[in-house]
Amino acid sequence: MKYYEQVEYLPQVPDYLIDDLDVIRSRKNAFDYPQYEHVYASYVTSQQLHDFLQEHFNYPIIVRYQVIGEKLPVHVDIGVTEKYNYIIDSGGSSVITRWWDSKENPTVILSQTHTPERIWHKLCVNIPHDITEVESPRISIQVKEEPVGHIAP
């Protein structure tokens, strides 16, 4: 099973389409748990960024900015098996994404990676995983398939 792979067929995102952190945080947080916003938030992107990325997928997509403010505990993403990430700011030189044998009692690391900035990668997110060693806001663009019947926030 591949937990992580670089994706070379998606283009780099032009700088003019990437918002700075203040603009990102001024938008609606689509992750509806405000008490955890200091740890994780998912913000709506501009329509221009969405449209740029939609051209490269043959199915409807959801595009969000992810901001991770500190260590993200072991979790499984709900309702999605894989997603594409484009790291804008890694959040520190030692940040690692790890996949675990269990969500409730993680003891064995199945795989781990240090994700480079400004390169698309595909992640398996239905396996328990975490993000460690976050020193500053980790900012990325996330793309996932839009579920049938989805209503955007």
**Mean pLDDT over all residues of the chain?**
93
Across 66-86, b (16+ Cβ under 10 Å) vs e yields: bbbbbebebeebeeeeebbbb
Q: How far apart are CA 79 and CA 125, in angstroms?
A: 10
Average pLDDT over residues 46-66: 97
Average pLDDT over residues 53-77: 96
User: What pLDDT score does 151 carry?
Assistant: 56
Q: What is the pTM of this model?
A: 0.91
Name the CATH superfamily for 4-9+17-145: Jelly Rolls (2.60.120.10)
